Structures are given as C-alpha cells and as structure tokens.
Amino acid sequence: MAEEGTRRTEAGMAGIIEDDRTAITVRTRRIAHSLTRAAAAAVLLLASGCSGFFVYPGSTGNGGGGNSTGDYVYVANASTANIAGFSVGSGTLTQVPNSPYALAGSAPPTAIVVNPANTVLYVAAGTSIYAYGIQSNGVLNALYGGAAVATATVAAMDISPDGRWLLALDSTGIDVFQINVSTGGLTQQTTIGYPVTNPKPMSIKISPNAQYVFAALGTGGDLAFQFDNATGALSSSPALLSGSSNLNSDNALAVDATTTHLYIARSGPAGGLAVYTIGVFGQVTGSPFATGGGPFSVALNKAGTDVYVANRTDGTISGFSIGTGTALTLTALSGSPYNSGLNVTSLAIDNSGNYLLAAASGGKPDLSLYSFDSATAGKLNLAASSATGTDPTVAIAVAATH
C-alpha cells in the first residue's frame, strides 16, 4: 500500500499539513546553518542587560523552578502554529497553565524534542529552532526572549544522552549543534550532507551508548554513522542500511537501551516494522514484521519488552512483545492493532513509563493516552484523550519528559 505522508501548502490556512504520497517534507531549504558565535554573544549580552529577556532553564523565577521529575507531554500543532502542554496523571491528561503556546513568527512547528535533564524543549519551526525552559509545573518559558537559537529548516531532531549535542535533519544534511547546558543555547559545529540519492529527511536517533547516529531518509533509505560524543563528529562514510526506493519509505527510528537493535517504521509494499542488528546491520529473521498500513512512528516501552508502531494510514497502533532468546523475535500483542486517532503520526512513552502517548494529525482525537494492561502484558488500553487546541490543530509530533 502506498504510504500517505504530509506536505504543507500555501493555499488556505497557513501551515496546514495535507496528505502526500511520501511523508512529511520540508518545503523551504535551509538558508543558514546557525547563529554565528558573534550573534550568540550579542544575544547573551542583551540577556544580561534586559530583565526578563532570558530565563535560565532551572531558575526559580517566571513560572517556577526547573523541572527534572515532572510528567509532562508536549504536542506540536502544525495548523495552529503552537505547542500544547499536558501533565500526565493517573490515567489523565491535564493542560498545563497558559497552554497552548504560540510560536514566534507564527511558523508551523516541524519537530520537537526534550533534553535529557527535562529543562528545555527545543522546537523547530519554519527556518529556525527555538528553546523553551520547562518549569516545575510544566509551563514553558521562551528562552532568549523568544529569539531563535539556530537557523535551519528541520524535519527531525534528537539530543545525545548526556545533553551536550543536538542533531537535526534539515533539507540538505545533518546539522550538529553543541548545547550550552547552562543557557540552552546552540552553537553549530558542522553539517554533513546526505551521501544518498533522493533523500527525504524523516527521523534521526542517537543511540543510548552515544556511539551511533541513525538517519531515516524516507525513500532515500537509512544511514548509520559512527558518532564521537566528545567532539560531536560524525563518520564521513556511513553505512547504508537500506537503499533508495521509490516504493518504500523509512519514516521513524527507535533504538533499544543496550544499542543492540534498531527498529524502523517502514511503509510501502515491503513495509512493516524492520529490525536490524546494530554493528553488522543486517535484518533479523522475519524482518520486516507485519503492521497496519503506513507505519509512521515507533516507540519502545521503558522496560524494552514491547515495541509499538503508529500506522498512519489505518489510524491504528501495532504492538509486539520482544523475545528474550539469542535470536530476536517479535510476537503480536493481544488485541493488536489498537484503534487510535486519524492519521496517527507520533508516539512517545511518558516519564513514569506507565503510558504511551499518540498524536494524530487528522485528530479524532488529537492526543491519546494509553495505559498498559495490568493482566495482559503489553496490551494497550485507552485511558484518556484530548484535543490539543482549536481543531483542526494537525498534531504532528509529541515529546515527553524522560
């Protein structure tokens, strides 16, 4: 089945994402790599001279102290160009104060990510990346007075386990930014171009051991880079896990906690959940495993015992238990696939590890909260759902505190 994706259009409401045959693509090319060091210094100078201009991520002012333990989830709304925030309770979703948060310049967000310390939410929108301090009550405060911390046209982002590096897939390559862990600022180190034909940037993932970076490039296949966490350098000759294909699209990635296996949500005639052994980079026996239509996102539970795939075309979520033998095996969970929102596009596990969040760009609902069944391991039960603003919001991405 040809996989539906999304593309922004200029007609009608600015930023609305509509169906496309491949995936979410970024229309505007990157116009610059990042703020220069001089510009960053100027921003910091302004911050020191203007009360309230810069909010330190972790300060006790302007809405509460920095958060490292709260259970919060944030959703990027493309059509309304804002970010919705929710606290996750016992089977509940409650909007945090002042949610949703409008973005500077009213550009639609394309990607979001929370740093490992749970103090900063990075939001890519238009040709810029913005940083928001996460307060103890889940409230977001725009850092640097709402000014961009980098300039790039971003499709996906991830942050290294130590919180020192932010890697972004933009329209032409992978941008590597060093994170100022005290201020949340970004300084670009390098950009690596895509050494494949027909790349369509979709997803990027840094391995838990910080030794690899994986990039899903849609119909361009997947790349595996060696990563130097000390310098932020990527290897110049990445391994190609799957070649270019006009029929299949690799849309999302997940890596297990031991950096043993890579999981790929792959749509198309040879689609499903593809699983590769890291290092040798060969598919395990039985891969790809059958899912619903248009696999578009993938997430592992915190225990690493189950894996879930958002099926965008079907509006369902497929779930698998992960075998414990020497050869990895996946078995469909009881009740799988599970009903979700229309065009479900993004999955995340909450801070507690007790819930799976799903954002659906077609709504009905925008955001779903699933609990894990107490009697049947891994089985999903819908616990709560919510709109993420005034519909249609086109909820394209969800990120949770860790």
Average pLDDT over residues 169-191: 96
Query: 211: how many CB neighbours lie within 10 A of its CB?
Result: 15
Distance of CA 51 to the CA centre of its chain: 33
pLDDT digits (tens, 9 = 90+) for 213-226: 999 999 999 999 99
Residue 30 has pLDDT above 50, yes or no: no
State the pLDDT at residue 197. 85
State the pLDDT at residue 129. 97
Nearest to 337 by CA among 321, 364, 357, 319: 319
Confidence of residue 104 (pLDDT cuts 50, 70, 90): confident
Q: Are 307 and 257 in contact (CB under 8 A)?
A: no
State the pLDDT at residue 57. 47
Question: Taking the model in full, what pTM does it have?
Answer: 0.85
Nearest to 370 by CA among 394, 353, 393: 353
Nearest to 320 by CA among 300, 340, 349: 300
Q: Which amino acid is at 248?
A: N
Q: How far apart, in whole angstroms, are the C-alpha atoms of residue 79 and residue 351?
A: 27
Confidence of residue 69 (pLDDT cuts 50, 70, 90): low
Q: Are 138 and 87 in contact (CB under 8 A)?
A: yes
Q: Which residue has the tokens 């928001």?
A: 132
* Least confident stretch, 21-30, 97-106, 179-188: 21-30
Q: Looking at residue 167, which CATH number applies to its domain?
A: 2.130.10.10
Percent of the chain with pLDDT over 70: 83
Average pLDDT over residues 228-242: 94
The total number of structural domains that make up the chain: 1
State the pLDDT at residue 316. 98
Residue 51 has pLDDT above 80, yes or no: no
pLDDT digits (tens, 9 = 90+) for 285-327: 999 999 999 999 999 999 999 999 999 999 999 999 999 877 8
Q: What is the CB-side half-sphere exposure of residue 298 using CA atoms within 13 A?
A: 31
**Structural domain that includes position 289:** 5-400
The C-alpha angle 110, 229, 56, rounded to 5 degrees, equals 60
Average pLDDT over residues 5-9: 36
Q: How far apart, in whole angstroms, are the C-alpha atoms of residue 272 and residue 2?
A: 12
Residue 383, C-beta contacts closer than 8 angstroms, at least 6 positions apart = 91, 92, 355, 369, 370, 371
Chain-wide mean pLDDT for the chain? 86
Average pLDDT over residues 49-56: 37
